[in-house]
Structure 1
């Protein structure tokens, strides 16, 4: 994955970052001072227009059509957390490489996984314990020169801003309901999903299948109106009451009126 045929430009200034000063490609990067910033590297993958729509490791079917656009990234093992980090949003700045870095910062959403390659001894950006962002090419080119290939960056978690509600894609079969949860605001990463069907008095806990696909096995939900309760990693909760009508079918997408902000 990514443009991995180029020698890494050295990571320096670690002590400066620890002191809260980002000493990199701009004299005003001291404005980035604050808790929550970490050191990582970044590469890029995909076509120049960023429209490959890849998001399979998180369960997204097409990240462009599902509202994430070009502002996406794949995460290395150290950041991906077995898919629990899908949907998180990051602010990223290229630092400590004056010839490679461009001024400014980007915000991206984690929509994919950058797999490790244990057969290689070089260009092992996504191998543990490396913290690495494999950016959609248009986003990489906003902060770094193409020819650099791989650059040192600082990053931090930020809130995901959404203008409409949480969305649910219905999948599975009669005895196995699989729901893709996306377009989640706030922390962005979902840690819990509960479902309640029409006529039921209690919520039923769903389990993560992979990425942001959540499942319920052994219960028939087809033909029933459904409500969902979504909890993000920071404990924020949004309920989408009767968001799915009783005449739903597999492959349909439904949007809630609410989101987390």
Structure 2
């Protein structure tokens, strides 16, 4: 073998190693690596993709709008059928997905967050991920994303995992809010990713008041007359773990604004 051929082979192998390392670091915390690479932990499902071929999808029915384009989601998201979306309760949950049955599949798992609903025909399958074009392409071997996307519908394997974001819980105020009505979407939730209960308290209140889920990750509260904030918010996940973000929503809060806490779930 000539020196040039040896060099080319070395570069190809090195590129593959770097791709795999990047994929695993981008989509999966190291402490989940061993568990999620164990094939016995995965179950069968179906995956399709929507939007532009390399697009980031949308926050759709979960109320996250275009925030899914940016960190910590970075477009690695999916719409889910009824068994994943669960009438909005599944918003924010995280899964590892991998494909092995197509020649273009890398066989390595990616982590995606449920941020939208895939209704209709998606419910003909028990579990159906409708991935962003970007996420779908990340299931492929280097340089073969377009080839895999051409398949349209593929068999995949999936497993539920804990969410781990390098970010704090944030709330985005709905554009239709006013002084007497708060509606906010919750983002970047670690752990289960699934918020089961939210309570709110204004400065000077002693009891916590319950907010109501309106749709997806959007929760609402009718503000008592004369209440101005700031508001503290207590988040409780599916596993009954709670954290409190004190004075998260400032006194001068405004519709459409996003407010970051200094806490997150484990």
Structure-2 change in CA distance of 1:30 and 1:90 (3 Å): closer
Using the alignment, how far apart are the partners of 1:104 and 1:80 within structure 2?
24
CA RMSD, aligned part only? 2.1
The answer (yes or no) to whether the contact 1:223–1:248 under 8 Å persists in 2 is no
Pairs aligned (count) = 222
Using the alignment, how far apart are the partners of 1:98 and 1:179 within structure 2?
41
The answer (yes or no) to whether the contact 2:179–2:228 under 8 Å persists in 1 is no
Deviation at 1:48, TM superposition (A): 2.3
SS at match of 2:150: helix
Matched, 1:237 2:233: no
Aligned pair partner of 2:75 in 60, 70, 89 = 70
Deviation at 1:218, TM superposition (A): 5.4
Using the alignment, how far apart are the partners of 1:252 and 1:107 within structure 2?
28
Using the alignment, how far apart are the partners of 1:176 and 1:91 within structure 2?
37
Unaligned runs of 5+ residues in structure 1 are: 1-28, 117-123
SS at match of 1:154: strand
Structure-2-length-normalised TM-score: 0.77
Match of 2:135 in 1: 139
Structure-1-length-normalised TM-score: 0.78
Match of 2:123 in 1: 127
Structure-2 change in CA distance of 1:51 and 1:143 (3 Å): closer
The answer (yes or no) to whether the contact 1:66–1:183 under 8 Å persists in 2 is no
Using the alignment, how far apart are the partners of 1:244 and 1:225 within structure 2?
6
Unaligned runs of 5+ residues in structure 2 are: 1-34, 141-147
Aligned pair partner of 2:155 in 133, 146, 152 = 152
The answer (yes or no) to whether the contact 1:76–1:133 under 8 Å persists in 2 is yes
User: Cα deviation per residue 1:119-164 (whole Å; 9 max; x = unaligned)?
Assistant: xxxxx3x025531000111211222412221111111111111222
Using the alignment, how far apart are the partners of 1:113 and 1:129 within structure 2?
14
Deviation at 1:169, TM superposition (A): 1.6
Matched, 1:161 2:157: no
The answer (yes or no) to whether the contact 2:183–2:218 under 8 Å persists in 1 is yes
List structure 1 runs of 4+ shifted beyond 3 angstroms: none
Using the alignment, how far apart are the partners of 2:250 and 2:62 within structure 1?
26
Match of 2:38 in 1: 32
The structure whose residues are more often helix, as a share, is 2
Deviation at 1:256, TM superposition (A): 0.6
Matches within 5 A, 1:3-42: 31-35=37-41, 37-42=42-47
SS at match of 1:147: helix
Using the alignment, how far apart are the partners of 1:128 and 1:38 within structure 2?
17
SS at match of 1:127: helix
Matches within 5 A, 1:200-239: 200-217=205-222, 219-220=224-225, 223-239=228-244
